[in-house]
Amino acid sequence: MALVVRSVAQLAGISLSLLGWVLSCLTNYLPQWKNLNLDLNEMENWTMGLWQVCVVQEEGGTQCKDFESFLALPAELRISRILMFLSNGLGLLGLLASGFGLDCLRVGETRPGLKKGLLILGGTVFWAAGVATLVPVSWVAHVTVQEFWDETMPEIVPRWEFGEALFLGWSAGFSLLLGGCLLNCVACVTQAAPAPGPYAVVETQCHRQHLEMKKARLKV
């Protein structure tokens, strides 16, 4: 029963982490980090991401243009690019490490210490990936709020608002954190039962032979 609960918790942790990693990759490339609605022209909306700015028109469709210069971007967008790439790389590394540490995988089943270490490593890396996702998303949201309530700007000037990618990024970050936490808790609190297989059979037979030899010596 304990082995079943452990396996289910491991699968739940890596599933949450996988979901967070996929959402983080989508957040990195989606251009909807900021939205701008023009009161003078309600048929035209602007969106901005880390890599491009787009204009959405009801009749003309969507047209996007990539940012030409990295150095010309605001500081929050430059740092966000780096952190999002870091998050995507760490998420992939966490999936590889924790995947090999799962009890349902036969690789390394005779070395439970190694599998436990891989689970802890994967969970820790997922934590780092979650932080690397939440920091840029929250930073861009903070700057957007400051600019929206900036009293020095005339009221007629349009203000950027939260885009859908920010909420997607928050979901990704918390999924990575929760998945990593679950993997670490499972690895540190519970211990895996010996996996059924040829190694377990051989170990059982050796144990029985050792007991029989011990009984024979006591009779003599």
Q: pLDDT tens for residues 80-128?
A: 999 999 999 999 999 999 988 887 766 656 676 788 888 999 999 999 9
What are the boundaries of each domain within the chain? 2-219
Report which residue type is found at 43.
M
The arrangement of secondary structure in 2-219, i.e. its CATH architecture, is Up-down Bundle (1.20)
Q: pLDDT tens for residues 163-214?
A: 999 999 999 999 999 999 999 988 887 554 444 444 444 444 545 555 565 5
pLDDT value at position 145?
A: 94
Arithmetic mean of pLDDT over the chain: 83
Quick one: pLDDT band at residue 59, thresholds 50, 70, 90? confident
Which residues, in sequence order, are CB contacts of 113 under 8 Å at separation 6+? Answer: none
The two tokens of residue 22 are: 């996929």
Count Cβ atoms below 10 Å from residue 141 Cβ, excluding itself.
19
Angle (CA) 94-19-126 rounded to 5° is 25
Phi-psi category of residue 154: left, alpha or beta, with phi > 0 → left and psi -120 to 50 → alpha: beta
Segment 54-81 shows an average pLDDT of 88
Q: What is the pTM (predicted TM-score) of this model?
A: 0.80
pLDDT value at position 75?
A: 93
